[in-house]
Amino acid sequence: MTWAATVRHNRPMEPKEDRLRRDMHVERTRLEDGRALLLYSWPVRTDAVAAPPSEQPALDPWSPDAGPADV
Amino acid sequence: MSELRWNALLGEWTITATHRQDRTFLPPRDFCPLCPTRPGRTPTEIPREEFEIAVFENRFPSLESQPPEPAVDGTDLSPVRPALGVCEVIVYSPHHDATLTGSSVEAIERLITVWSHRTLELGARPEVDYVFIFENRGEAIGVTLHHPHGQVYAYPFLPPVAARETAEARRHRERHGTCLGCVLADEERADGRRTVLETPGWRGGVPFAARWPYEVHLAPIRHVGWLHELEAEERSGLALALKTLLLKYDALFGFPLPYIMAIHQRPTGGGDHDDHLHFEFYPPNRTETKLKYLAGSEAGAGAFINDTLPEETAARLRSVGPTGEAAR
């Protein structure tokens, strides 16, 4: 049994946005028809975008060199 | 037209959403609604030339923050109510051909942060009882858009699977005073036969009573109920676990394996809940060329029949793709 197994969690949700946000930026806007649009960004992008599949070298997908790419 | 109709025989809500019949279905790549809007091209759902991760309310929602009145009158036995809630689309990347599998661990961590943020925001709404984040991958699952994306459903009720899990967790705690998820995780780690991967703070394995041949659950070792409760190192461990599992799935048969990814978190509507956060993956393939369908026993009786042994499928998944840090 882990230490946490005896802990009861009966509290409501408690926003902890600060811990999540760190350097995350959320831009909130509306589409023309009124639907919400949120754009998440970070000061430094990680995405080093992957080439389209047709341009990629022979795939060794579990190579440490397989990434990075955007999500 | 959308509404909630009560299924009196099963004791659960069905969402009727007729407008979804008209939703975009496998559009040509040049008309992908999830790509950035390019100058001179057809506007997409995202009126920007560039973005990292975008979230927007679904154009064809099953649940709406301002739902229409129901089309029919209910009865005492069969009530009907407005389909109140939220349905969002999370676009993982501006790049049409990007994949989670090909993403860096850091990029997946950012997606996890967005999942956490959506859980916090939507879960704080008084009308929302459960925030469900999921992804469908592959046409075999019924994907209608290939651009990498997932979805969020914020339900005004506890959906049936979450209700059963919550009830079982509560029953276990009342009987034994422990968290069911923690105990199962401890047992599975000690046994080891169904373990597929381990990363810092996380374990992934084929469940003892898997419904699908290559079903895998990922769960934090620590007792955590919501994504936003994860510490930074646990978020990193989850990102590595996700990437590792997806690389294994893609290596299994040599093609991107279709799957449903379901994130099971604690309910948000208050109450005394003890659910242990976990991810469930259900690939429909039982072999390279054969799919498992939900047929008579599964659809008609709710009793799943698995054509494989979880110990054998776990061993096969362990043997393909990367392990641990090699996935980075």
Whether B149 is catalytic? yes
Preferred mutation among A13, A27, A55 to probe B, highest tally of B CBs within 10 A: A13
Interface of A with B in 20-39 (CB under 8 A): 20-21, 24, 26, 31, 33, 35-39
Helix/strand/coil for B82: strand
| Catalytic, out of B149, B217, B264, B276 | B149
Q: Does the CB of A58 have a partner CB in chain B at under 8 Å?
A: no
Task: Indicate if the pLDDT at residue A59 is higher than 50.
Answer: no
* B181 within 8 A of B275, measured Cβ to Cβ: yes
Task: Indicate if the pLDDT at residue B262 is higher than 70.
Answer: yes
Question: What's the mean per-residue pLDDT of chain B?
Answer: 92
B245-272: average pLDDT: 93
pLDDT of residue A11: 38
- Shortest distance, CA A25 to any CA of chain B (angstroms): 11
Burial of B59 (0-12, 13-18, 19+ CB in 10 A): middle
Task: Indicate if the pLDDT at residue B318 is higher than 90.
Answer: yes
B55 CB-side CA count, 13 A: 24
- Report pLDDT digits (tens) over B32-77: 999 999 998 888 999 999 999 999 999 989 999 999 999 999 999 9
This model of the complex carries an ipTM of 0.91
Predicted TM-score (pTM) of this structure? 0.88
Domains and CATH numbers, chain B: 24-59+85-322 (3.30.428.10)
B223-239: average pLDDT: 94
Of B5-9, B70-74, B140-144, the one with minimum mean pLDDT is B140-144
- Shortest distance, CA B148 to any CA of chain A (angstroms): 8
How would you label B266-300 residue by residue, b for 16+ Cβ within 10 Å and e otherwise? Answer: bbbbeeebbbbbbbbbbbbbbeeeeebeeeeeeee
Q: Does the CB of A59 have a partner CB in chain B at under 8 Å?
A: no
Q: A67, B274: Cβ pair inside 8 Å?
A: no
pLDDT of residue A10: 35
Task: Indicate if the pLDDT at residue A28 is higher than 50.
Answer: yes
